[in-house]
Amino acid sequence: MPDPLTIADDLRNTFRGRLAFDAVRRGLYATDASPFEVAPLGVAFPEDAEDLAVLVKYCHEHALPVVPRGAGTGVAGESLGPGIVVDLSAEFRGILRIDSDTATVEPGVVLAELNAALAKVGRRFAPDPASGASCTVGGMVATNASGGNAVRHGYTRDHVRGLGVVWDDGSRDTLRNPSPNPSPKGGGGPAQPNLPTPVPRETSASQLVGSSPPFPLREGGPGGLGGSGLRTASIAAATAALLRANRELVHLTRPLTPFNRCGYLLHDVLTDAGPDLPRLLCGSEGTLAFLTEVTVATVPLAGGTCLALLGFPTLEAAVNAAADLPPFEPTTADLLDRRLLSLSGRGTDAVPAAVGAALLVAFEADTAREATERAWGAVEALKERHKLVVLAEPACDPDGVARIRAVREAAVSGLYGIGRGPRPAAFVEDVGVPPAAVAEFLAGTQDVMKRYELSASFLVHALAGQVHTRPLIDLADPADRAKLWPVAEAVHALALGLGGTVSTQHGTGIARTPWVERQYGPLLPVFRELKRVFDPKNVLNPGKIIGPDPSRPAWPLRGEDRGQRTEDRGPEDRAPLLVWKDTTAEAEAGKCTGCGDCRPRGGAGRMCPAFTAAGLEEASPRAMANLVRGLADLGSDDARPVVSACVNCKMCRDECPSRVDVPRLMIEAKARRHAEHGLDRVSWVLARADRLAALASRLAPLSNAVLGNRPARWVIEKLIGLSRRRRLPALAHQTFLRAARGERRLPAAADAPKVAYFADTFANVFDPSVGAAAVAVLRHNGVTVVVPPRQVGSGAAPFAQGDLETARELAVRNVRALADYARDGYRIVCSEPTAAMTLSQDYLLLLDDADAAAVAAATTELTTYLGGLHAAGRLRTDFRPLDLALGHHVPCHLKALRGPVAGPGLLGLIPGITVKPIDVGCSGMAGPWGLAAANYDASLRAGRRMIEAFDRPGLLLGATECGSCRLQMQEGTGKRAFHPVQYLAHAYGLLPELGKRLRSPLGELVSD
Ligand SMILES: Cc1cc2nc3c(=O)[nH]c(=O)nc-3n(C[C@H](O)[C@H](O)[C@H](O)COP(=O)(O)OP(=O)(O)OC[C@H]3O[C@@H](n4cnc5c(N)ncnc54)[C@H](O)[C@@H]3O)c2cc1C
Ligand code: SF4
Ligand code: SF4
């Protein structure tokens, strides 16, 4: 195998994409969503199919393993390998064509993105893996992905119509199905009614493989060749011969399950017109070819969807009831066991505590009426025949559907979120048995768990006989690790004994390759021969399906492969720089399962603006967690792009199913880097944005004139990196705090609520009318308000840069200024959500003392506080009407406070105002981050969804609590945006000057 230097040198003039051989990138691609770890030699990012072909050809010539990778959400370790891992999720992202009933995309397009585009024309790509927000279409084809709706819509292979491929030798072609798909759905196709007759294991490979004459070649013939590649022709001919010779064996070795994902699926590949190569490649896990283009059939959006939640006293009762569902043609029937239910927050009105297992059944039809009829029919029938503990009526309205769906989501994410110690591990999670044998399999598996003193959760797709078992295992505990293999042996043996399969949905990969021979016996030599036909040098994703890589353990568990990278690691065991009372950075990072939920595309969730802007694995929260897991030196240059990508929005912390506190990890990492290297120029400026603004405000209006001058802005950009394109807020000479200093402190009325107002930089220096409005509105509502005079900027900016020294200094000053108020029963109310988050959460990571804890406990965000007054009936509603249509954006840091979002409701109290809530993600500003010239474009990209939502013609003005987000709303649309409290104050008649600002256009470079 050539070494990295030689490879880089050899490919210098032919390969246009990026190659990375550093320890950091190798670490980031050494894991996926499985429990395995294999460090690749390097990572490649080809620019297009031609570029990929150059790389594959080189690997072929040098016998260098080459492994395709999409989003890395595979749970079987399919995309892990020792050679060059090729990341196709970065560049291959084009939706090339949407026709009336097909769509053609590049393989890196994410399912949710494709479906968002298809929804515009009333269609969708039907397979619905639970990872659809982040998994790629290429990965779906390569793993033959499916979801809960497989019973109705089948697997990916049932929908693939054509593929662009790069073969092992670098030649390229386009393949199409030779004829309409032989079976309408089924991934593995429906199983035979009877158990197959076992074929003697001693049958020799040559007997099995046979040697039929090559398939006759003709235009558009074997494999439905769209191109004229000789390589394709010879592959098609040899495949046809192999399948013909082993037709009987293929038939006999099929499991008795409706679905099967283990090994190569051969039973329906040979058609009268030749082998259906696209169908064969579905599920081949990158071991037979690279996919460069995918054409899929699309289906209409469902006309109606209903869900029903059915509760049963026991798991067995639920399994029995599921058997009566098929006549009502449900799309899915998920069975949640007691453990999953307990994690869904049952005891609430959704699932009473007496329920021991629940069926969550979906009905999807062309019309709403049809779906409703089926759902009611099923519920009535089950009510009659089975003892139900609780019966939720079928929900067909969007709210009801969302409520039931939330039970499943809460259960699954609660399972991932289990804290330290034993956690659900995916290593026997994909077993399938004939649906009639589910009860027997569950009972047997529970016995296995008892034998190994483990508990497990079960999520069963009852109609398909798929049982997702996740034993709770502490992978850090050697005793628990030792149980993995014997438990897998026992559970898989149980499934195979019932005519089942070791994989129904998640694929073979590293996880199940050791059991392929056990499942298929004499068919394994046929698989090997097939692999030899496609990839005689075994360079394409070796070690999968036809046998494990003999040079490493069959199961290379996480952490065991690190030896080879220790030479790249830097000094460890440094004292932590943040307060880590409850855990350590390394343990926190270890909670990451690699699921890839933090790489969403196409509209789901709010995380992660850094990934959204860059579109690269290295900017994902997963990469950040991987970095800290001890994979590489945090101080190295190669670690810098990963560490600096995080903007501390905190969205991943709350949306990650494992609740990994990635922003905390990244602050620690940034601080460690800066302790070693110091701050770079841009970080230094961003960390001091508050102080620089306060300084410049003293020189206003001169400083405003300078900031509004184009040549001066050019010079400023060159000197300190502040973007010359960004419209900046005007600086106030009379800051809010300076004006408030002259105020007399009035004694609090006995029963009046007491507030100490914390302004932070935006309300203090840029728009003091926010502070004035906050104080006026609070006092108008009978609140006693003080403005603590010694308060300074919150320190959010230096904290986000990892400049802990500056952040800590500011924290100490603010805690001194505020602690006595907190102890005297004042709420510390912040108009800036970032300040509220910093005071209530981040100070506790900087200061381990009682005063900081008192301040944290007393801190509230302003609109949340006003919303509380309203809920208590204490908010005055003597508003005068304002005829305005507003778009209200929910800032990330308001979400991070985990309280209710009160702003839109408060604004809605003003007569005449209409409010359109915009809750689609980060604005892309991330405090002062978006001010930097280097971040300007990325910032607008990261905020694109919010900007598009606000840019609708009906919305004339914006509202949001966050000062930085207001800048971005204005920058992206040219429309003005204000704090909700400014509108409230104006409507109370307390801020008349706002009327003029509402109507005046924004300044070009500087605006009030
Ligand atoms: C929380 C969670 C839920 C999941 N739920 C489901 C589910 O409901 N149903 C289901 O089927 N799966 C599920 N999965 C598994 C996984 O998401 C799917 O297998 C998915 O299709 C993988 O897509 P990916 O882009 O992440 O591919 P990767 O994981 O990156 O790769 C998977 C395989 O595809 C190959 N590959 C990727 N791109 C190409 C290409 N362009 N050319 C050739 N080969 C390629 C890789 O080599 C690898 O063998 C789940 C995973 C997670 C973490
Ligand atoms: S950080 Fe969370 S969401 Fe991202 S891969 Fe890890 S566990 Fe999944
Ligand atoms: S805190 Fe925000 S920017 Fe940082 S990794 Fe999490 S989601 Fe991404």
The DSSP line for 78-118 is: TT--SSEEEE-TTT---EEEE-SSEEEE-TT-BHHHHHHHH
661 alpha carbon to ligand 2 midpoint, in Å? 10
What are residue 458's phi and psi, to 5 degrees? -125, 125
User: What value, to the nearest 5°, has the Cα angle with vertex 151 and ends 148 and 152?
Assistant: 100
The 8-class DSSP code of residue 1001 comes to: P
Ligand 1 lined by 135 (C-beta under 6 Å): yes
Six-digit token string for 367: 């019309």
Q: Report CA(653)–ligand 3 centroid distance (Å).
A: 8
Contact 261, 501 (CB under 8 A): yes
103 forms bridges with which residues in the sheet? 98, 296
Confidence tier at 227 by pLDDT (50, 70, 90): very low
3-state secondary structure of 486: helix
DSSP labels for 444-459?
HHHHHHHHTT--EEEE
Can you give the pLDDT at residue 598? 95
Selection from 114, 111, 86 nearest residue 17 by Cα: 86
For ligand 1, the distance from its centroid to the CA atom of residue 141, given in whole angstroms, is: 8
Ligand 3 center to residue 841 CA distance, Å?
16
Contacts for 747 with CB less than 8 Å, ≥ 6 apart: none
Structure tokens given for 103? 């769509």
Regarding the beta carbon of 835 and ligand 2, being less than 6 Å apart is answered no
342 against 832, higher pLDDT: 832
Mutation test residue for ligand 1: of 29, 91, 143, the one with most atoms within 8 Å of CB: 143
127 three-state secondary structure: coil
Question: What confidence tier does 749 reach under pLDDT thresholds 50, 70, 90?
Answer: confident
CB 622 near ligand 2, within 6 Å: yes
Q: Amino acid letter at 754?
A: K
The single residue listed with the structure tokens 């600002």 is 997
Residue 983: exposure state from Cβ atoms within 10 A (0-12, 13-18, ≥19): buried
Tokens of 618: 């290295």
Nearest-CA residue for atom 9 of ligand 1: 129
At 744 the pLDDT is: 66
Mutate to test the pocket of ligand 1, among 48, 88, 135 (most ligand atoms within 8 A of CB): 135
Question: What are the structure tokens assigned to 767, written together?
Answer: 């728009």
Cα separation, 730 vs 465, in Å, equals 64
Q: Examine the pLDDT at 432 and tell me if it is beyond 80.
A: yes
Q: Ligand 2 centre from 595 Cα, in Å?
A: 5
Ligand 3 neighbourhood includes 931 CB (under 6 angstroms):
no
Q: Which ligand is nearest to the CA of 658?
A: 2
Mutate to test the pocket of ligand 3, among 651, 654, 894, 939 (most ligand atoms within 8 A of CB): 651
pLDDT over 90 percentage in the chain: 71
Pocket probe for ligand 2: among 131, 660, 662, the residue whose CB has the most ligand atoms within 8 Å is: 660
Residue with tokens 């068919």: 523
Find how far residue 524's CA is from the centre of its chain: 36
Q: Is 445 left (phi over 0), alpha (psi -120 to 50) or beta?
A: alpha
For a substitution probing ligand 3, which of 616, 627, 650 has the most ligand atoms within 8 Å of its CB?
Answer: 650
Task: Check if 75 has its Cβ closer than 6 Å to any atom of ligand 1.
Answer: yes
The minimum-distance atom of ligand 1 relative to the CA of 142 is 34
Nearest to 542 by CA among 515, 205, 534, 236: 534
Measured distance CA(662)–CA(591) in Å, rounded = 10
Q: How far is the CA of 811 from the centre of ligand 3 (A)?
A: 22
- The Å distance, Cα 488 to ligand 1 centre, comes to 21
pLDDT category at 319 given cuts 50, 70, 90 is confident
Do 918 and 949 meet the contact criterion of CB atoms below 8 Å apart? yes
pLDDT at 23: 92
Determine whether the shortest distance from the Cβ of 139 to ligand 1 is under 6 A. Answer: yes
Question: What is the Cα 196 distance to its own chain's centre?
Answer: 41
**What's the CA-to-centroid distance between 627 and ligand 2, angstroms?**
13
212 pLDDT more than 60: no
Q: Which protein residue has the closest C-alpha to ligand 2 atom 8?
A: 595
Which residues on neighbouring strands pair with residue 458, listed in sequence order? 469
- What separation in Å is there between the alpha carbon of 704 and the centre of ligand 1? 53
Q: Which residue's CA is the nearest one to ligand 3's atom 2?
A: 649
Task: Record the tokens describing residue 960, joined without a space.
Answer: 């949001």
Which residues fall within 8 angstroms of residue 51, CB to CB, at 6 or more apart? Answer: 15, 16, 17
Categorize the per-residue pLDDT at 536 as very low, low, confident or very high, splitting at 50, 70 and 90.
Answer: very high
Ligand 2: which of 412, 591, 593 to mutate, judged by most atoms within 8 Å of the beta carbon?
593
pTM to 2 decimals? Answer: 0.91
Check pLDDT > 50 for residue 225: no
- In 3-state terms, what secondary structure has residue 389? coil
Q: What is the pLDDT of residue 399?
A: 85
| Mean residue pLDDT across the chain | 89
Rounded to an integer, the average pLDDT of 130-138 is 95
Q: Which atom of ligand 3 is nearest to the CA of 645?
A: 3
| Cα 740 to ligand 2 centroid, rounded to whole Å | 45
| C-beta of residue 648 within 8 angstroms of C-beta of residue 926 | yes
d(C-alpha 774, C-alpha 789), whole Å: 16
Specify the amino acid at residue 429.
Answer: E
Beta bridge partners of 123: 300
- Are the beta carbons of 307 and 394 closer than 8 angstroms? yes
Neighbours of 905 (CB within 10 A): 18
Residue 883 burial by CB count (10 A; 0-12/13-18/19+): exposed, middle or buried?
Answer: exposed
Phi, psi for residue 642 in degrees, rounded to 5: -70, -50
Neighbours of 536 (CB within 10 A): 11
Q: Answer whether 131 contacts ligand 2 (Cβ < 6 A).
A: no
| Structure tokens, 560 | 């065991």
Which distant-in-sequence residues (6+ apart) come within 8 Å of 342 by Cβ?
none
Query: Rounded to 5, what percent of the chain is helix, strand, coil?
Result: 45, 15, 40
Q: Is the CB of 595 inside a 6 Å radius of any atom of ligand 2?
A: yes
Cα separation, 46 vs 6, in Å, equals 18
pLDDT number for residue 414: 66
Per DSSP bridges, beta strands 914-918 and 885-889 are parallel
Q: Can you give the pLDDT at residue 219?
A: 34
The two three-digit tokens of residue 156, written as one number: 């990916």
Atom number, ligand 2, closest to the C-alpha of residue 659: 2
- For ligand 3, say whether the CB of 662 is within 6 Å of any of its atoms: yes
448, two tokens: 């296995």
- Closest atom of ligand 3 to 666 CA is 4
Confidence of residue 574 (pLDDT cuts 50, 70, 90): low
Q: Are 592 and 658 in contact (CB under 8 A)?
A: yes
Axis crossing angle, helix 4-11 with helix 49-61, rounded to the nearest 10: 130
Distance CA 452, CA 622 (A): 31
What pLDDT, in 10s, does the model give residues 660-708? 999 999 999 999 988 888 888 888 888 888 889 989 999 999 999 999 9
Q: Which ligand is nearest to the CA of 643?
A: 3
Question: Which pLDDT band holds residue 224 (cuts at 50, 70, 90)?
Answer: very low
Task: Point out the least confidently predicted range of 349-363, 554-568, 615-629.
Answer: 554-568
Cβ atoms of 977 and 969 closer than 8 Å: yes
Confidence of residue 216 (pLDDT cuts 50, 70, 90): very low
CA angle 251, 257, 262 (to 5 degrees): 70
Which residue in this structure is represented by tokens 């990469």? 623
Say if ligand 2 is within 6 A of residue 656 CB.
yes
Question: Which ligand sits closest to the CA of 622?
Answer: 2
Atom of ligand 3 nearest to the CA of 647: 3
